[in-house]
Amino acid sequence: MDIAETSQTLREMMRNAPRPCVLVPTMGSLHLGHVALIQRARQAAGPSGTVIVSIFVNPIQFDRPADLLAYPRPLAADLAQCEAAGVDLVFTPTAESMYFPNRSVTVTESSLSLGLCGATRPGHFDGVCTVVLKLFLLTGCEAAVFGEKDFQQLAIIHRMVRDLDVPVEIIASPTVREPDGLALSSRNVRLSPEQRADAPRLQAALLAGAKQATAGQVLQVARQLIEASPLTRIDYLTLVDAVTLQETENLDRPAILATAVFYGEVRLIDHVKLGKR
C-alpha cells in the first residue's frame, strides 16, 4: 500500500471511529510499560472511545544504522498484546507507506533537543517530531499518551504541540520498572545476562546522587556508582532544569538528574526528579 492509500484508508477508518480517539505511538517490542500506556489511553478514551496503537520502527529517528537493524520487531506478539489489552485499532505502516523517497520537510525543535540525548544523537528528535506529527494528522486523535521514562521526548512533544497549535492533548504516563528498579525498555532484551544483572545500578546511582546536598555532589556520587561497574560506559550524566532542560546547579527548583549509559552496544536511559517542587 502506497502513501496515498495508507493515508486515505486510515483516515476513513478514523472518521467512523467512536470518539474520543486516544493514540499510543510505539515502535513495537511491547512490554508492560506499553501496556500501562494503553491502560492510560483507555482511561482517557472511556469504554466507548477508540484506543489506537501505532507500531512503527521509525527509521528517521535512528542515528546509528546498526541500532535500527538490531531493533526487535516481534509483530505477532505485539498484536497479541494489543488484543489482550483491549486496543481497538493497531496501525502498522511500513517506511515506504510513511515517507516519500524524496521527502524534504522535517519538523525540528531547536531548544529542548540540544542537550541530553539530542546532543549525542543528531537528528533523533527531528525524526521523532516528524513521525509523531504525521501520526497525529493521520489518526485525527484528540489525545496521545507518552511515557515519562523518555522525559526529554515528552517535553519536546509538549513544546511541538504548543508551538504549532496542534489540537492534541498530551497525556504523561509514569515510568514502569522491573522489581529490581530497571526501567522497562524494549532494549532490555538485548542485554546479556551479566549486563541485565548489573543494569539496575543506573536507578540506584541516580537515587543515591539525588540525596546529596549540592549539584556537584549529586553528579559525583551518581558517576562513581555507575562507573564502579566495568560493564558501563556513560554517554551522559547531567543535572538539568525540569522546564528548560538546560544544565543547572540550582536545586531550589525542579530538576532532573538524567543519564544515558551503554552496556556494550545497548544504550539505556534513566532519570530521577529532584529539587523543590
Q: What pLDDT score was predicted for residue 2?
A: 60
Concerning whether 271 is annotated as a catalytic residue, the answer is no
Q: What pLDDT score was predicted for residue 1?
A: 55
Residues 6+ apart with CB under 8 A from 248: 215, 239, 240, 241, 255
The residue annotated as part of the active site, out of 34, 124, 158, 271, is 34
Q: Which three cell numbers stand for residue 236?
A: 551522559
Gap between the Cα atoms of 216 and 221, Å rounded: 9
Q: What pLDDT score was predicted for residue 249?
A: 94
CATH architecture label of 186-270: 2-Layer Sandwich (3.30)
Q: What pLDDT score was predicted for residue 196?
A: 98
CB-CB contact of 52 with 89 (8 Å): yes
Alpha carbon 149 to its chain centroid, in Å, reads 7
- Report the predicted TM-score, pTM, of the whole model to 2 decimal places: 0.93
| CATH 1.10.3720.10 matches 3-173 | no
Measured between its terminal Cα atoms, the distance across the chain in Å is: 49
Q: What pLDDT score was predicted for residue 164?
A: 98
- The mean pLDDT values, 10 residues at a time, for the chain of 277 residues are 71 90 97 97 97 97 88 94 96 94 96 95 95 96 97 98 98 97 93 98 98 95 98 97 95 95 96 81
Place of cell 510505539: 26
Q: Where are the domains of the chain?
A: 3-173, 186-270
Q: Which three cell numbers stand for residue 17?
A: 471511529
Strand duo 89-91 + 50-55: pairing: parallel
